[in-house]
Amino acid sequence: MRYLPLTADDRAEMLGVIGAPDIDALFADVPAAARKAELFDLPLHAGELEVERELAALAARNRPAGAGPFFCGAGAYRHHVPASVDHLIQRSEFLTSYTPYQPEIAQGTLQILFEFQTQVAALTGLEVANCSMYDGSTGCAEAVMMAQRVTRREKAILSGGLHPHYAATTQTIAHAEGMTIVRQAAAIDAEAAVIAAIDGETACVVVQTPNVFGVVTDVTRIAEAAHAAGALMIVVTTEAISYGLLKSPGEMGADIAVGEGQSIGNGLNYGGPYVGLFACREKLLRQMPGRLCGETQDADGRRGYVLTLSTREQHIRREKATSNICTNSGLCALAFTIHMTLLGGTGLRELALLNHSRARELKAAVEGAGLEVLTPRFFNEIAVKVPGSAAALVEALLADSVVAGVPYSRLDPRAGLDDVLLLAATETTTSDDIAALGAALTRRLGQ
């Protein structure tokens, strides 16, 4: 029975080989205060039926996003995923448990990743894209470190409109590379502050559009200022559906575009797993993190796909790698590509227009309830100023069965914006949902 626990004699033999007197010696480097002498108070094993009942009871305590009016966004968006996507991602020629190290037996996987790269490059308006990152936030950090390698400078400017989670992830990862991260204060519209901060020491500027407050910004002027100082322009997009309506990062002068692809083909899933989009100018290709799939021909002249560029730590010497990304988000990228293929360019634009239309309806309802909308230009998300605490208002509206968005303080508690509420509307939001929110806001704010 190969999966039974080891015997006492087995453990003693293993300890003897490594020269440890007992198991406790293996944890000598862990501070005593962090160790627990007794077992954790966890339930013992149970039968399958009992476990199913317990898990079903726990799941019943959650409220699915589709159970009523739902206006959460802030980097993770509820969109309709056609049933055909979930069906097609299970086809054996596409689905894989891991990465395509052996191209001769992974042609379906490689083809999907090639198509994914093609779609991301077209959406971002840049020449090349890799076959995905873990998610948008780690992709943002990788872009900053890429800019360091290209410019040989150490300073990165993060706009005050960048999602706080992206900024924090970048600070954590890029700081370990010795970079100086200048994270600007939260700002509804940060264009002027970003341009003013650019100097000759700047490696890159990171700007999000639509930003975390929902503001749509044409970053052309920022890109021009960055390039004039010899810095790279990095554009972040957390709502991939916006590519269907807004100018692409490439059109606005971006050198690197980073995005979160969750909105296309992937559900909310309690926050993951997601799929990071990463594209850049062709001249920067050799410094791009992750991997690149390419099209080729076999010995018989038939079309085939291979890993063309794999400058990861698993393929070359660790210190020479451009990234420590160990894999790509294969399944999420597959879902993205299939959904994007089903939509096509026309379908994506129509979906984007529907999102914007719903957001305009949402803005009117919020203003009708007497609240100030802070977002001057938006796609499908707005920031609203509320009296008192936005977090308290969201909790109060839950009693009316309305999930009224994300308090900004939940993303950045230290920003001092406790009265700012982020609200998003997508194609899944109905007019009845918006009416319910407006009525609930009027009741609560009128009390």
Nearest residue to 292 (alpha-carbon basis) of 263, 170, 284? 284
* 114-140 per-position pLDDT tens digit: 999 999 999 999 999 999 999 999 999
Would you say residue 326 has pLDDT above 70?
A: no
Mean pLDDT in residue range 46-71? 93
- Predicted structure pTM score: 0.88
Q: Using the CB atoms, write b or e for 410-435: b if 16+ within 10 Å.
A: ebbeeeebbbbbbbbbbbebeeebbe
Give the other-Cβ count within 10 Å of 208's Cβ.
30
The H-assigned helical ranges of 152-234 are: 164-175, 191-197, 220-228
Cα–Cα dist 386/405, whole Å: 12
List Cβ neighbours of 248 (8 Å cut-off, separation of 6 or more).
Answer: 123, 124, 125, 126, 257
pLDDT of residue 1: 43
Least confident among 44-48, 232-236, 408-412: 44-48
Mean pLDDT in residue range 322-350? 89
- For the chain, how are helix, strand and coil distributed in percent, rounded to 5? 45, 15, 40
* 161-212 per-position pLDDT tens digit: 999 999 999 999 998 889 999 999 999 999 999 999 999 999 999 999 999 9
pLDDT of residue 315: 56
Q: What pairs with residue 204 in β-bridges?
A: 156, 232
Tell me the CA distances in angstroms from 162 to 40, 274, 317, 413, one per residue in order.
40, 18, 33, 15
List Cβ neighbours of 14 (8 Å cut-off, separation of 6 or more).
Answer: 6
- Distance in angstroms between the alpha carbons of the first and the last residue of the chain: 67
Would you say residue 298 has pLDDT above 90?
A: no
Q: Match 């100097």 to its residue by tokens.
A: 199
pLDDT of residue 139: 95
Cα–Cα dist 208/258, whole Å: 9
Strands 256-260 and 276-280: antiparallel
Would you say residue 3 has pLDDT above 60?
A: no
Would you say residue 38 has pLDDT above 60?
A: yes
- Structure token pair of residue 65: 């996003």
pLDDT band at 327 (very low <50, low <70, confident <90, very high): low
Cα–Cα dist 147/176, whole Å: 15
Give the other-Cβ count within 10 Å of 383's Cβ.
24
Cα–Cα dist 384/188, whole Å: 11
Nearest residue to 73 (alpha-carbon basis) of 422, 428, 436, 427? 422
Cα–Cα dist 95/115, whole Å: 15
Q: Which domains does the chain have, with CATH numbers?
A: 69-79+345-446 (3.90.1150.10), 83-340 (3.40.640.10)
Mean pLDDT in residue range 233-254? 98
* 409-419 per-position pLDDT tens digit: 999 999 999 99
pLDDT band at 332 (very low <50, low <70, confident <90, very high): very high
Backbone angles phi, psi at 382, to 5 degrees: -135, 155
Would you say residue 6 has pLDDT above 90?
A: no
Cα–Cα dist 140/280, whole Å: 12
pLDDT of residue 99: 66
* Burial grade of 272 (CB within 10 A; 0-12, 13-18, 19 or more): middle
CB 253 within 8 A of CB 219: yes
- Structure token pair of residue 237: 């997009």
Mean pLDDT in residue range 245-269? 97
* 304-320 per-position pLDDT tens digit: 998 887 655 455 556 67
CB 147 within 8 A of CB 232: yes
pLDDT band at 250 (very low <50, low <70, confident <90, very high): very high
* Burial grade of 123 (CB within 10 A; 0-12, 13-18, 19 or more): buried
Nearest residue to 223 (alpha-carbon basis) of 184, 281, 137? 281
pLDDT of residue 97: 52
* 76-101 per-position pLDDT tens digit: 999 999 999 999 999 888 876 566 76
Mean pLDDT in residue range 422-447? 94
